[in-house]
């Protein structure tokens, strides 16, 4: 959705041009899955798909919200009535960000907002973070708050955790706020230190495909909570603040100490090996060897499938089909039980791979997946 189009619709809705237009992208996580609530490493990059918001300030304590992608007209909220748990509609995401800004002591007096997004919802590509971050950046600019990108990400996470009530880590919001084109973001979720790692696949004759299976298995919410609680229990049993504190070299000793806690042992093994996979990926990309990360992605999938147990038949079918048809590597990405998978492949292999996926899904009688190329794109920014 272009900035002009969003600005024009804003003008129709609210009777005046917006003060500005901002964009924030969805993201894909290259590697580092279910590590962010264990204080570990993640490596997302921004998608070209983004949320675009036109915003103007108001001084009468009203927040008016409109989305081109939702039924219904403009929703009008009073700033002093914003409270966690009061809104179960899409408006909770932008309203939650405004609530979090006010909670942090920023003098926000109101706004008119119109937004539109090309990030698919519920596909594990973080449409929610795109929405939060575009609002946070617009308010930071308009109200001259001077917040750093990582601070915006923290506020957005608070909005999602507390106001919306969804227990997510810090990765999605940081990716949307901080990513750079042609790079993946190596993020330490403990201290939020970050490094931009060159990730320009097209220049190497490579492609990264995202395969959105369009399935979301119903039990995903509760299973996320169980994994999270299991990781916390593992850390407690091992006497560390978070599983990030178990060094890869000490993994076997740690597993031995967990004795017959088989479920916890598997969770711990995934998290500790996954952190190590992120570090290996960073080293290979820094050394200019992107093809070599393929097997690491595939190892990551096996760990999520067998140890963390959050894959599903559709995701496994993507990975198995891709590997059988010449992919360099493949893995599920995101929370699991549906959503999307990644495939790293030579550019020349993409047409035959795509055909093989379509055929495999048809044979299995699964819904046809949506396949698109993921080009590492820009993080949040002002457009107009
Ligand atoms: P994900 O972030 O993986 O896409 P979530 O369930 O976290 O999935 O967030 C999706 C929710 O975000 C939607 O149900 C909706 O409430 C909100 N959302 C996303 N995109 C838009 C949009 N363009 N307009 C309004 N709300 C949106
Ligand atoms: Mg989300």
Which of these, 65, 52, 74, lies nearest to 4 by C-alpha position?
52
Please report the pLDDT score of residue 371 as a whole number: 96
Closest ligand to Cα 68: 1
Which pairs from 99-105 meet CB under 8 Å and 24+ separation? 99/159, 99/163, 100/155, 100/156, 100/158, 100/159, 100/162, 100/163, 101/136, 101/139, 101/145, 101/155, 103/158, 104/155
Architecture of domain 200-373: 2-Layer Sandwich (3.30)
Per CATH, domain 3-196+378-382 is 3.30.230.10: yes
Please report the pLDDT score of residue 123 as a whole number: 83
Q: Ligand 1, atom 2: nearest CA belongs to which residue?
A: 126
Sorted by sequence, the CB contacts under 8 Å of residue 351 that are 6+ apart come out as none
Grouping H, G, I as helix, E, B as strand and the rest as coil, residue 46 is strand
Strands 111-117 and 62-67: parallel
- Mean pLDDT for back-to-back runs of 10 residues, the chain (384 residues): 94 98 98 96 98 98 98 97 96 98 98 97 91 99 98 98 92 98 97 96 96 82 89 98 98 97 98 98 97 98 98 98 98 93 98 97 97 96 98
Active site residues: 172
Main-chain dihedrals φ then ψ at residue 195, nearest 5 degrees? -135, 140
Residue 67 near ligand 1, beta carbon < 6 Å: yes
Burial of 136 (0-12, 13-18, 19+ CB in 10 A): buried
Please report the pLDDT score of residue 218 as a whole number: 67
Residue 93 near ligand 1, beta carbon < 6 Å: yes
Domain ranges of the chain: 3-196+378-382, 200-373
Residue 122 near ligand 1, beta carbon < 6 Å: yes
Q: Measure Cα distances from 133 to 149, 170, 217, 223, 356 in Å.
A: 9, 12, 27, 26, 37
Site to substitute for ligand 1 among 131, 168, 169, 175, most atoms within 8 A of C-beta: 131
Q: Could you tell me the pTM of the whole model?
A: 0.95
Please report the pLDDT score of residue 251 as a whole number: 98
CA-CA-CA-CA torsion sign (372, 174, 131, 214): positive
Which of these, 90, 257, 239, 222, lies nearest to 159 by C-alpha position?
90
Please report the pLDDT score of residue 212 as a whole number: 95
Could you give the angle at which helices 149-158 and 127-142 cross, rounded to 10 degrees? Answer: 120
Q: Measure Cα distances from 229 to 5, 7, 38, 275, 346 in Å.
A: 45, 44, 11, 19, 39
Closest ligand to Cα 221: 1
For residues 38 and 156, give the distance between their C-alpha atoms in angstroms, rounded to a whole number: 19
Q: Estimate to the nearest angstrom the gap between the alpha carbon of 264 and the chain centroid.
A: 25
Half-sphere exposure of 33 (CA within 13 A, CB side): 33
Return the residue matching tokens 């264990």: 38
Question: What's the per-residue H, E or C state across 63-98?
Answer: EEEEECCCCCCCEEEEHHHCCCCCCCCCCHHHHHHH
Please report the pLDDT score of residue 222 as a whole number: 84
Q: pLDDT tens-digit profile of 27-47?
A: 999 999 999 999 999 999 999
Residue 69 near ligand 1, beta carbon < 6 Å: yes
Question: What's the per-residue H, E or C state across 134-184?
Answer: HHHHHHHHHCCCCCCHHHHHHHHHHHHHHHHCCCCCCHHHHHHHHCCCCEE
Q: pLDDT tens-digit profile of 113-157?
A: 999 999 999 888 999 999 999 999 999 999 999 999 999 999 999
Please report the pLDDT score of residue 220 as a whole number: 63
Please report the pLDDT score of residue 168 as a whole number: 85
Half-sphere exposure of 325 (CA within 13 A, CB side): 23
Strand order in the sheet with 206-216: 329-333, 338-346, 206-216, 370-373
| Token pair of 125 as six digits | 């590509």
* Ligand 1: nearest atom to the Cα of 129: 2
Residue 72 near ligand 1, beta carbon < 6 Å: no
| Token pair of 97 as six digits | 């960000």
Which of these, 363, 348, 250, lies nearest to 314 by C-alpha position?
363
Strand order in the sheet with 183-188: 41-42, 183-188, 194-198
Q: Ligand 1, atom 9: nearest CA belongs to which residue?
A: 128
Which pairs from 309-314 meet CB under 8 Å and 24+ separation? 309/266, 310/34, 310/223, 310/227, 310/335, 310/336, 310/337, 311/336, 311/337, 312/213, 312/215, 312/217, 312/336, 312/337, 312/338, 313/364, 313/366, 314/213, 314/215, 314/338, 314/361, 314/366, 314/369
């Amino acid at each position: 959705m272009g900035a002009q189009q969003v600005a024009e619709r804003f003008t129709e809705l609210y009777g005046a041009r917006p003060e500005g237009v901002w964009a924030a992208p969805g993201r894909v996580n290259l590697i580092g899955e279910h590590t962010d609530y264990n204080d570990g490493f993640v490596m997302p990059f921004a998608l070209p798909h983004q949320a675009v918001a036109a915003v103007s300030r108001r001084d009468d304590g009203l927040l008016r919200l409109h989305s081109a992608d939702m039924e219904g007209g403009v929703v009008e909220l009073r700033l002093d009535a914003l409270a966690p748990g009061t809104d179960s509609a899409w408006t909770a995401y932008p309203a939650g960000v405004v609530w979090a800004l006010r909670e942090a002591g920023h003098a926000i007096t109101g706004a008119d907002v119109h937004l539109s997004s090309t990030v698919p919802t519920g596909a594990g590509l973080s449409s929610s973070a795109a929405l939060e971050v575009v609002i946070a950046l617009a308010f930071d600019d308009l109200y001259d708050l001077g917040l750093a990108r990582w601070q915006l990400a923290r506020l957005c996470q608070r909005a999602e955790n507390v106001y919306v009530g969804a227990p997510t880590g810090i990765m999605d919001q940081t990716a949307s706020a901080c990513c750079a084109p042609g790079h993946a973001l190596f993020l330490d979720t403990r201290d939020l230190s970050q490094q931009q790692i060159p990730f320009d696949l097209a220049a190497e004759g490579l492609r990264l495909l995202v395969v959105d299976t369009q399935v979301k298995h119903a039990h995903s919410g509760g299973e996320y909570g169980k994994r999270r609680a299991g990781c916390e229990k593992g850390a407690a049993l091992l006497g560390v603040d978070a599983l990030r504190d178990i060094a890869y070299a000490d993994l076997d000793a740690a597993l031995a100490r967990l004795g017959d806690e088989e479920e916890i042992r598997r969770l711990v093994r995934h998290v500790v090996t996954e952190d190590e996979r992120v570090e290996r990926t960073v080293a290979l990309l820094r050394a200019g060897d992107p093809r070599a990360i393929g097997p690491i992605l595939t190892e990551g999938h096996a760990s999520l499938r067998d140890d963390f147990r959050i894959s599903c038949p559709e995701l496994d079918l993507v990975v198995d089909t891709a590997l059988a048809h010449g992919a360099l590597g493949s893995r599920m990405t995101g929370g699991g039980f549906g959503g999307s998978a990644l495939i790293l492949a030579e550019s020349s292999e993409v047409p035959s791979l795509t055909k093989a996926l379509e055929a495999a899904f048809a044979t299995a009688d699964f819904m046809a997946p949506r396949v698109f190329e993921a080009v590492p794109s820009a993080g949040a920014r002002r457009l107009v």
